[in-house]
Structure 1
Amino acid sequence: MRQNNILIALLILYLFLAFFSNLSEAKAVSERCSRVEVSLLNQEPYPAQQDDYVTLVFKVENVGGVEVKDVLLELL
C-alpha cells in the first residue's frame, strides 16, 4: 500500500515537471518567432448598412520576439 502511494506521488511529480518544462520551452520558441495579431477596433456605422460605405479601424501588432519586415493583410 505504501509503495503504491509512493509510486503515485512520483508519477504526479513527473507529470507536473513534464508539463511545466514544456511551457517554458514553448515560451522560448515564441520569443524567437514573429507573431502578428490583428484586432478590429472600430466600425462605423454600426451596424453596417446595405449598399453603404463602412469605415473599419484595425490594430496590427507584432507580439512575437522577432521584427516583422513584410506583412500582407487581405480582407475577404
Structure 2
Amino acid sequence: MLVHFQYKPLQHKQRNQSWLFSFYFQGQFTSGTYYYDGTIEWDSPPKQLDNEEDLKHAIHDLMLYHVYEDEHQPQE
C-alpha cells in the first residue's frame, strides 16, 4: 500500500507537464517523476517490488485523481 503520497508540478501549465512524486511503500521512501504520457522515471525505486506494473498503475490512478481534482476545484 502507498502511504503519504505527495506530488508537485515541475512545470506549470505546460503542454508536456511533469510532476515529482513521493510516497512510502512497504516502509521504504520512494520517489520519481511522472510525465504527461504516464511514463514514470524512478529516483529512488522500491527495492523489494514483486509487481512493478501494479505499483505504476496505482501511481497513475492517484495522479489522474489528484491532477483532475486540482484543475476542477472551484476557486474560493
TM-score, normalising length from structure 2?
0.32
Specify which structure has the bigger relative contact order, considering alpha-carbon pairs within 8 angstroms and separated by 6 or more residues: 1
Instruction: Write 1 or 2 for the structure with the bigger share of helix.
Output: 1
Instruction: Write 1 or 2 for the structure with the bigger share of strand.
Output: 2
Larger radius of gyration: 1
